[in-house]
């Protein structure tokens, strides 16, 4: 076997190793939200001080308030609400929808999402990356499961006549969420209007009007 081939195999192995998240090195690492130490994630609480409540979240049975402009409400259960999730690479949300309510186009920069319909009927979809920008969408019924790949823009809409509920799991303790409209038109400070006007191929007055809503 040539030295070049051996080196190529070694390099490929290294890339595979470094592309994966590291496994936890202890049974658990309950987040210590009061620690002043800044790390990529959250510092572990002293294991001797850990209690059962650190692994418990209550309230996912409660309906969220959907009286808002988009007609939906997300109840998150990530490391901020459940410290025991720290380093475990998983979290979840409950999403409540009013009739015709939407979870507006958004992306999770650090997580894949798997979406399960508990009640109602949904139109869901995601858009592939440039240059294809292909919409992949489906109508979901109770019991259906749909996956949104990490980082891709996706949405959900309740297309039923009553309220709807879904539960979603995400492959990060802190998946993050970037709602596209809020980020583009509601940034602080504003993205200059002429940039958005050229990007969206619209009049700058329309951009200013939309920005005023955020």
Residues making up the binding site for oxalate: 103, 108, 113
Binding residues for Mn(2+): 106, 108, 113, 154
Distance CA(165)–CA(158), nearest Å, equals 9
Binding residues: 103, 106, 108, 113, 154
CB 33 within 8 A of CB 83: yes
Say whether 45 sits in a helix, a strand or coil. Answer: coil
Distance CA(184)–CA(179), nearest Å, equals 9
User: What are residue 109's phi and psi, to 5 degrees?
Assistant: -65, -15
Distance CA(173)–CA(24), nearest Å, equals 13
In this structure, what DSSP letter does residue 65 have? -
């Amino acid at each position: 076997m040539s030295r070049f081939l051996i080196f190529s195999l070694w390099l490929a192995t290294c890339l595979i190793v470094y592309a994966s998240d590291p496994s936890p090195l202890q049974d658990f690492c309950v987040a210590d939200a009061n620690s002043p130490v800044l790390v990529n994630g959250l510092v572990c609480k002293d294991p001797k001080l850990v209690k059962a409540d650190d692994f418990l979240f209550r309230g996912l049975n409660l309906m969220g308030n959907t009286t808002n402009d988009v007609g939906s409400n997300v109840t998150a259960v990530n490391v901020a609400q459940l410290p025991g999730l720290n380093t475990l690479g998983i979290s979840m949300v409950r999403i409540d929808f009013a009739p015709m309510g939407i979870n507006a186009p958004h992306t999770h920069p650090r997580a894949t999402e798997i979406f399960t319909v508990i009640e109602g009927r949904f139109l869901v979809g995601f858009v592939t990356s440039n240059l294809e920008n292909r919409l992949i969408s489906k109508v979901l019924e109770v019991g259906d499961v749909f996956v949104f790949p990490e980082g891709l823009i996706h949405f959900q809409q309740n297309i039923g006549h009553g309220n709807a509920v879904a539960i979603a799991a995400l492959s990060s303790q802190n998946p993050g969420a970037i709602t596209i409209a809020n980020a583009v038109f509601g940034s602080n400070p504003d993205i200059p209007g002429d940039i958005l006007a050229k990007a969206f191929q619209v009049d700058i007055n329309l951009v200013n009007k939309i920005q005023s809503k955020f």
